[in-house]
Amino acid sequence: MRPSSLNPLFKPVGSLPGLGPRLAPLVERLSGPHVVDLLWHRPSGVIDRRFTPMVADAPGGQVATLTVMIEAHTPPDSPRRPTRVRCSDETGFITLVFFHGREDWLRRTLPVGEVRVVSGLVDRFNGEAQIVHPDHIVTLDQRDTIAVVEPVYPLTAGISAKQIGKWVHAALAQAPDLPEWQDPAWKSRQNWPGWRDALTALHNPQADSTAARRRLAYDELLANQLALAMMRRHMRQAKGRVFHGDGRLRAKVLNALPFSLTGAQTRSLAEIDADMASPLRMLRLLQGDVGSGKTVVALLAMLTAVESGAQAALMAPTEILARQHHSTIEPLAASAGVRVALLTGRDKGKARDAVLSRVVNGEVDILLGTHALFQADVVFRDLGLAVIDEQHRFGVHQRLELTNKGRAVDVLAMTATPIPRTLLLTAYGDMDSSRLDEKPPGRKPVDTRVLPLTRLDEVVGAVRRAVQGGARAFWVCPLVEESETSDLAAAEQRHQDLSELFGNRAGLIHGRMKGPARDAVMAAFGAGELDLLVATTVIEVGVDVPQATVMVIEHAERFGLAQLHQLRGRIGRGERASTCLLLYGSPLSETAKARLEVMRASEDGFLIAEEDLRLRGGGEMLGTRQSGLPGFKLADPAEDGDLLAVAKDDAKLILERDPELAGERGGNLRTLLYLFERDQAVLTLRSG
């Protein structure tokens, strides 16, 4: 049970004074559903209101706090014009401007002939100073209520800075005094405040709040590392099974491969074999750059389970990817007499029943599929190894539902998104990790070029010439916002434009198409019935068309580096030279410019991932859609790498000394885990 001291923080945000049912959903979207989420909603900057000049000395473009006499109100002569309130001091005049201002409120707040203190951004209009919608208007005796240095919070449409500040302070008032969970010597050495004082300092940045932010960041990182260490310990305590393959099936598949394994594949396979042969359960992450041969390594690992008399399953997040794996694995498995089946959400009725019957009777050695694999009616005769591809797209519960279908199932998770070492610690600290950092022989480098969108006509002409020369091309449409609809609109418009040139040889694919329709388009592109495929980012993983040698990405500056790298990995898979054109819209920010330069200069996914972290920070690492990495509210793994290393060591030491968190500090650390919603880790203590 969550400690009762935390109950006020886990009330809905709508329970805060002044935050009714109309605005609560907006705050939930901005920060989260609970009061505690507002405490973690940290300021992105500050406004300094200490500048108090006379009106004549107030420069444009600067925030100033002015003491003025109210001279006159000029109501608008049309609804589209603002109300203007003329004010003065002994040095000159300034106008306060209000769009859609209620006249009765304005006359009450700014009565003619009285003195008011106003604070806001001064600008110049027709040579005269003005403030549009002042941030503060108070009487002389209320002057001290204007914060001298005011935090600036990230906002969303429909919520003002003043409102969010008020609700954050209401949340602060509900924050209890909690017992200290930090090691006293470490806290003292860092000169850190207590938890509640740190929160107060974070949201009242009158002075330097670095120590407060670092303290809170460390709290969050320690909760993360402690939870992962507990989960890992729990996994290690669960008795595993020993899988010793005799190598007969693996030898047949290796003979059927048209290439030899790379050094990285051989090394990773040896690590997986050692885990499977150990009496402890395997929990390993296989990171492989685009086209590095993860599927072959997964197949060879699954054969070890099959050679030992067990079954294996591979779960992929999309039907496209599951079918791609099936087309790669099935012929290789057939060469060794291994029986493979595919199960997706599309399989219904008798066909589905037939697959389920073969699985439960042990007539299927390897089952491939999507989320359909962990449905209640899927029963294995003896599941020994579960491979989870693009693991970040599945929740922990989904992973558990699949592994619960067998006895002490070994888990091999795979990702084609290279993860920087610091984020690997925060996201997958409960797993061992193997890296495929070499490409199989025969993969040609991709020539990447960066061009402005103003050269779109030239690009279309170049794609047309390439297609006439026998090439096939992808054209990826911009990530407009976090909405499939707007991406789709962009793709449909571009498809319409390009169809005028390419006719019915141009196809369109997007995430809202039904599975069979999407497969039909992909099959037509693969078979050469289409020359050009216009797509949203649905083609990011699992699309393998070796004949495709051209990739155009529109508005490349809107994509994360890792996603650009994934998309580029769809080409360069055959014998012919490949070209990737990154089109950008102007003006480009310095960060966007640096990102595109990294893409142009390198094809090393691991280097690209490290650069992405450096350029974007941990907060938006890899873009929001596809990262699946834990979102930190207070810590930034890019900035707080030193704290992360300490948190990892601290967590290890804590569990060595007090594995059940039963001592005084242990009890306080349980509160920390609940505070950062790492309840799952506490449950593992209970479940043994």
504 or 417, which is more confident?
A: 504
Q: Decide: helix, strand or coil at residue 516.
A: helix
pLDDT class of 146 with cuts at 50, 70, 90 = confident
Per-residue pLDDT of 620-636, as tens digits, reads 333 333 334 456 889 88
Choose which CATH entry (3.30.1370.100, 3.40.190.10, 3.40.50.1000, 3.40.50.300) describes domain 446-602. 3.40.50.300
pLDDT above 70: percentage of residues in the chain: 92
Q: Are 8 and 176 in contact (CB under 8 A)?
A: yes
118 or 489, which is more confident?
A: 118
Strand-strand pairing, 366-369 and 311-315: parallel
Q: Decide: helix, strand or coil at residue 1.
A: coil
Distance of alpha carbon 416 from alpha carbon 427, whole angstroms: 15
Q: Within a 10 A sphere around the Cβ of 33, how many other Cβ atoms?
A: 16
Classify domain 50-146 at the CATH superfamily level. Nucleic acid-binding proteins (2.40.50.140)
Q: For position 378, what pLDDT does the model report?
A: 92
- Quick one: residue 442, left, alpha or beta (phi over 0 = left, psi -120 to 50 = alpha)? left
Q: What six digits make up the tokens of 423? A: 């984020």
Per-residue pLDDT of 646-661, as tens digits, reads 999 999 999 999 999 9
Q: For position 123, what pLDDT does the model report?
A: 94
Helix-helix angle 210-237:679-687, to 10 degrees = 30
Per-residue pLDDT of 380-392, as tens digits, reads 999 999 999 976 6
Show me where the domains of the chain are located: 1-46+161-175, 50-146, 248-417, 446-602
Distance of alpha carbon 644 from alpha carbon 155, whole angstroms: 29
Q: What is the 3-state secondary structure (H, E, C) of 20-46?
A: CCCCHHHHHHHCCCEHHHHHCCCCCEE
- Quick one: residue 293, left, alpha or beta (phi over 0 = left, psi -120 to 50 = alpha)? left
Per-residue pLDDT of 537-563, as tens digits, reads 766 555 677 788 999 999 998 888 878
Per-residue pLDDT of 84-116, as tens digits, reads 999 999 999 999 999 988 889 999 999 999 999
Q: Are 369 and 315 in contact (CB under 8 A)?
A: yes
**Mean model confidence pLDDT for the chain:** 87
Per-residue pLDDT of 48-67, as tens digits, reads 898 999 999 999 999 999 99
Q: Decide: helix, strand or coil at residue 616.
A: helix
Distance of alpha carbon 87 from alpha carbon 72, whole angstroms: 7
CATH number listed for the domain at residues 248-417? 3.40.50.300
Q: Are 70 and 95 in contact (CB under 8 A)?
A: no
Q: For position 11, what pLDDT does the model report?
A: 95
Q: Are 293 and 442 in contact (CB under 8 A)?
A: no
Q: What six digits make up the tokens of 6? A: 């935390």
Fold agreement between 248-417 and 446-602: yes
Whether the bond between 587 and the residue before it is cis, its omega within 30 degrees of 0, is yes
Q: For position 539, what pLDDT does the model report?
A: 65
Q: Are 438 and 289 in contact (CB under 8 A)?
A: no
